[in-house]
Structure 1
Amino acid sequence: MEKPSEVFDRDREWSALVRFATDDRPGATLGVVSGRRRQGKTFLLDALCRASAGFYFGATEATDIESLRRIGRALTEYAAPPGPHHFQDWTEVLDTLLALGEERPVTVVIDEFPYLVKANPELPSIIQQAFGPLRDRRRRSRTRLLLCGSAMSFMGRLLGGGAPLRGRAGLELVIRPLDHRAAAEFWGLTDPRLALAVNAVVGGTPAYRNEFVRGDTPRDMEDFDAWVTRTVLNPETPLFREPRYLLTEEPDIRDPALYLAVLSAVAEGNATRGGMAGYLERRATDIAHPINVLEDAGLLHREVDAFRDNRSTYRISEPLIGFYQVIMRPVWDQLERPGAAERVWQASRRRFVSNVLGPRFEQVCREWALHHADPELFGGLPSRVTHGAVNDPTERVSREVDVAVAGLPDGNRLSLLAIGEAKWNEPMGMGHLARLERIRELIARGGRYDTSHTRLLCFGGAGFAEGLRERAGRPGSDVALIGPEDLYRAG
């Protein structure tokens, strides 16, 4: 099946879905598709059903009886049986869905599956029984059933541990936000600095461009400030309240105020569990559950320090929530009043650059190093890219490493392919290079990493001094300069 032209990007996801849907082997199969709201899951699955003449059912918040009636009407319209379907329970529904695939592979999509389970918690067990390996109806059928949901914490548990559906699924697909390159293309942005600035606000969620701001994109960097005030800071746009709604959509989040406070602590630079606890004036054990739920929901991401395994830091995964925490939440009452957006933005512009855009630039640099950079740049394939801190006993300081590129392990020693520093609004010079050389020397003394071929990376959003360019341009230099245009260059 050819991917419909209206589906942007998602080539990998489409190929996986097509392979699942067109599998001609006997035996019904089950797949699970998840992803946060606004990522285009429904659009993608609906396109799959249309291309394969499959059956799509979108669940809603309803009682179990209401949902049985709705799916009965939908199946009657789809299959046109001699008489209308009137289901008494979900076992009958599953038998009917399996019967659809008795002559050919048939794609069946049940979207927003968590709504159905909320009304009937036994539903996963009923599906487990229907898809039992020895059940005759399942073996005769070639129904390709896809369960889809936006509640990430729920969907993550659906196939895990001792869950009823563990071991039953032949596909587990997560629809993630677009990466920085695809997002720039989707928004129609060709200026890499502008693309990074927009990405720091709205990330890679496709729905934000068309449905939430009605195709309004900044023309250039000069229009960026005005674009922020007329979109995300404008109470008349859906984007204005979206960060708050993202939390309330997760069923495991029952006290949004506490979860917002945890995110606020991270946004303010308190990235460790102890730092968050101190910021909130609570014990670390009190916030363990909210942290775990935010991780499961895909809103918070934990990263292990590259140089200290016993130290982890957290970052906000969704840029719009990070923007909200830093810029909007502290002045929410002001922003709700008409005409306040420009005044608030002018007062917050510097804070945006240092607390939102700068950290987002660092994260994009790490993602580029892991997923897009030519391995030749590092002299090997990266196995992990993260950040970390190195103690300098002479100066009695802890030196931060924005980008640490680890290679594949060789025996008991790890290969450190590269370390890098990222500066968005500050031209990089020889002082930054000297700092990286000092850090590499300290790492070598520690003995954990092999640094004999460690390269030094300077990620500069505001350019590079001539002396640094000259050093990087020498034959066989161990220094590489990466600007915004390199992060967006295909290859």
Structure 2
Amino acid sequence: MAKPSDLFDRQYEWDDLERFVTSTSPGVRVGVLSGRRRVGKSYLLRRLVREFGGIYHMALEEEPGPALQRFADGLVAQRLHAGQVRFRDWNEAMRAALPPAGVGLAPLGDPAPGRAGAPLLVIDELPYLLAHPAGRELPSVLQSLVDESRSASGWPSYRVIVCGSALSIMSELRAGQRRREHVPSASPEAEIPEQLSGSRPLRGRAELDLMLRPFDFRTSAGLYGIADPTVAFALYAIVGGIPGYRDLLADASPQTMAELDDLLVSTVLNPSHALFGETAYLLREDPRITERALYYSVLAAIAGGATTPSKIAAVLGRAQRSLGHALDVLITAGFVCKDDDVLLQRRPTLTIADPIVRFHELVVNPRLVAFEERRAMQAWRAARETVRAQVFGPAFEEIAREWTLRYACEETLGGPVGEVGRTVVNDRAGRAQHELDVVALAAGGRRGGGAPVVRAIGEVKDSDRPRSGADLARLDRVRALLVARGVEAAGAKLLLFGRAGFDPELQAAADRRSEVELVDIHRLYTGR
């Protein structure tokens, strides 16, 4: 069926959910949907229930008894009055919602008229239920129902989707094991209580495992209706591709940098606005984040350029081992990315995953008094250089890699590509290190997987000055160093990304050399 007209983008996600709901497989089938706060999970699931029928239940932060009763009331709302049905526990509640054939009435009802699909139950914000001992049996109950329905014939088809914003808990729910490969941690396994995750029972039972991610830079420009790529990029670098921010920004659609300044001063930089305290709001999603001062300090250190555990420890004046658990939590919760060198199995770097968190750490928090005293425009202007170097710079690198992976055509890159990342190249003769912002491996090549073919290498610069022939000469030098090191990069395309464009000398060189590609902000947003 067609995607709902009031659902922006999300075609692939809608197709996955529709396929899950309309599957003819018998029995209880469970799907897991996760994603950070405000990414549009609830909006998407409510439209799924609207189109296919079923029950949508939003869990709240409340005591176990009222939480169970609210579920009971929602389950029987079309047949009985609130409070007329009570369940002793979640086992009884779920068995009432998903009964075997011939046992009681299926409260989920039939699919919506004209829609083919199994009765659907959505439990949104599941981590709120798992926070109490009474709710921690829920994953085990679902496991039991899945197993029973698979082993018995004649069991009706049911579809259950559980959803949550606490990424660390939802990742445990899907994977069934801790993912400790990111950052070495001195903390024992028991520091994250297993009962919080509810992970072991659903391991292998979830048929759908869907992560709802933020929109990319091009889709975000369409969401806000911004025609000028420069304005679209600036907004994306600050708030990212979170669709929920569109409503919080009052459906604004800035078309000039002056309009964007006014928008930011009245919203993100306004103490009265919800986005002013967004970092704290997001951190509260993970129950493991209790010593918030430490986590704020770690985020500030990473945003400021401390990209390894040892550098973070030096900034904070703490032993590196004491930060292992905090870093592990921030990575699994989606606040921090661990980015490995695409050509080497070492030199991992830590970066802030969420643009608005990075913006708060670098721009808002250091000038908090000025913003709270309503000197927002003055403080915003004073932060211009910080924004250009530490907000726009990293964001421009990120969208350059994303463009290379998703939008650049094979002619531009010299063939199909697989992984895209970054690397550091040592120049012993020149006694220097060269950071390559973009390294595109040939399709099928993987980082750390032998000797991959390098399709393209690129250097990204967010500067007010056009890029010059010296930039191309440096990229030629880096490619030669890679070849001398034994990397298959002799035929690699050379990509130069520049937000301020390119000078005539470089433009002329690119016209003469077919392996050189110049990519400005307009090509990033509209070209291939």
User: Aligned partners of 1:300, 1:371: CA distance in 2, in Å?
Assistant: 22
Equivalent pair of 1:29/1:143 in contact (CA under 8 Å): yes
Q: Is 2:297 aligned against 1:261?
A: yes
Is it true that 1:204 corresponds to 2:217 in the alignment? no
Q: 1:342 to 1:134 in 2, by over 3 A?
A: closer
- Counterpart of 2:395 in structure 1 is 360
**1:218 corresponds to which of 251, 254, 257:** 254
1:330 alignment partner AA: P
Equivalent AA in structure 1 for residue 218 of structure 2: R
CA distance in 2, matches of 1:70, 1:332: 41
Aligned to 1:381: 416
Q: Is the 8 A contact 1:33 1:148 kept in 2?
A: yes
Instruction: Check conservation: 1:250, 1:297, Cα contact below 8 A.
Output: yes
User: Structure 2: 5+ residue runs without aligned partners?
Assistant: 100-105, 111-116, 178-199
* Alpha-carbon distance, 1:79 to partner: 5.4
8 Å CA contact 1:60, 1:112 repeated in 2: yes
Please tell me the residue identity of whatever aligns with 1:3: K
- The aligned residue for residue 120 of structure 2 is 107
**How far, CA to CA, are the matches of 1:434 and 1:77 in structure 2?**
71
Q: How do residues 19-418 of structure 1 correspond to structure 2 at under 5 angstroms?
A: 19-78=19-78, 84-99=84-99, 100=106, 105-119=118-132, 120-133=135-148, 140-161=155-176, 163-210=200-247, 212-338=248-374, 340-407=375-442, 408-409=444-445, 412-418=450-456
Q: Which amino acid aligns with 1:468?
A: L
Match of 2:473 in 1: 434
Change (3 A) 1:22 1:84: farther
**Residues 422, 436 of structure 2: 8 Å contact kept:** yes
Q: Is the 8 A contact 1:233 1:341 kept in 2?
A: yes
1:136 is displaced (CA, Å) by 6.2
CA shift at 1:487, angstroms? Answer: 1.3
Which amino acid counterpart does residue 25 of structure 1 have in structure 2? S
Q: 1:126 to 1:217 in 2, by over 3 A?
A: same
Q: Which moved more, 1:278-287 or 1:145-154?
A: 278-287
- Counterparts in 2 of 1:478 and 1:322: CA distance versus 1, 3 Å: same
Which stretch has the larger CA shift, 402-411 or 283-292?
Answer: 402-411
The alpha carbon displacement at 1:463 in A equals: 0.7
The answer (yes or no) to whether the contact 2:468–2:502 under 8 Å persists in 1 is yes
- TM-score w.r.t. the length of structure 1 is 0.95
Per-residue CA deviations over 1:236-270 (Å, capped at 9, x if unaligned) read 21111112211122212111111111111111111
- Contact 1:31–1:145 under 8 Å retained in 2: yes
Tell me the residue number matched to 1:458.
496
Q: Deviation digits for residues 419-470 of structure 1, max 9, x if unmatched?
A: 11111223101010011011111111111x2012111100110010111111
Find the aligned partners of 1:29 and 1:444 in 2 and give their Cα distance. Answer: 51
Q: In the comparison of the two structures, how many residue pairs are matched?
A: 487
How far apart are the structure 2 equivalents of 1:37 and 1:453? 43
Match of 1:147, SS state, is strand
1:359, distance to aligned residue in structure 2 (A):
0.9
**Residue 47 of structure 1: CA displacement?**
0.4
- CA distance 1:248–1:82, shift in 2 (3 Å): closer
Partner-residue secondary structure (3-state), 2:255: coil
Structure-to-structure mapping, 1:9-24, within 5 angstroms:
9-24=9-24
Q: Which amino acid aligns with 1:356?
A: V
CA distance in structure 2 between the partners assigned to 1:461 and 1:294 by the alignment: 31
C-alpha deviation, 1:337, in angstroms: 1.6
Moved more, 455-464 or 324-333: 324-333
Q: Give the Å deviation of 1:102.
A: 8.8
The secondary structure found in structure 2 opposite 1:145 is strand
Q: CA deviation at 1:486?
A: 1.4
8 Å contact 1:217–1:227 — kept in the other structure?
no
CA drift of 1:226 comes to 2.5
Whether the aligned pair in 2 keeps the contact of 1:102 and 1:141 (CA below 8 Å) is no
Listed one character per residue, the Cα deviations across residues 51-95 of structure 1 (whole Å, up to 9, x for unaligned) are: 111110001112221111101110111455999432111112111
Distance in 1 of aligned mates of 2:500 and 2:256: 17
Write the letter of the residue equivalent to 1:286.
S
The residue aligned with 1:445 is 484
Structure 1 residue 376: deviation in Å? 2.6
Per-residue deviation, 1:122: 2.1
The Cα offsets for residues 189-231 of structure 1, whole Å up to 9 and x where unpaired, read as: 1111111100011100111121x22123323123332322222
Flag the 1:431–1:71 CA change in 2: closer, same or farther, 3 A: same
8 Å Cα contact 2:90-2:137 kept in structure 1: no
Aligned partners of 2:227 and 2:255 also within 8 Å: no
Preserved contact between residue 91 and residue 130 of structure 1 (Cα < 8 Å)? no
Residue type at the aligned position of 1:216:
A
Gaps of 5+ in 1: none
Query: Cα RMSD between the aligned structures?
Result: 2.0
Partner of 2:91, secondary structure, is helix
| Distance across 1 between alignment mates of 2:450 and 2:4 | 49
Greater Cα offset, 156-165 or 479-488 = 156-165
Does structure 2 retain, via aligned residues, the 8 Å contact 1:130–1:138?
no
- Report the secondary structure of 2:8's partner residue: coil
CA–CA distance in 1 between the matches of 2:472 and 2:376?
Answer: 40
| Change over 3 Å in CA distance of 1:135–1:365 after alignment to 2 | closer
TM-score by length of 2: 0.88
Contact (CA 8 Å) 1:102, 1:142: kept in 2 or not?
no
Task: Tell which deviates more after alignment, 94-103 or 327-336.
Answer: 94-103
Q: Which moved more, 1:101-110 or 1:149-158?
A: 101-110
Q: 2: distance between equivalents of 1:309 and 1:278?
A: 24
Residue deviations 1:17-70, cap 9 Å, x none?
A: 111111123222000000011011001000000111111000111222111110
Secondary structure at the counterpart of residue 202 of structure 2: coil
> What is the letter of the counterpart of residue 199 of structure 1?
Y
Confirm or deny that 1:489 pairs with 2:523: no
Aligned mates of 1:78, 1:156 — CA distance in 2: 34
Q: Is the 8 A contact 2:54 2:109 kept in 1?
A: no
d(CA) in 2 for partners of 1:259, 1:398: 31
Shift of 1:234: 1.1
Moved more, 104-113 or 427-436: 104-113
Counterpart CA distance in 1 for 2:82 and 2:421 is 60
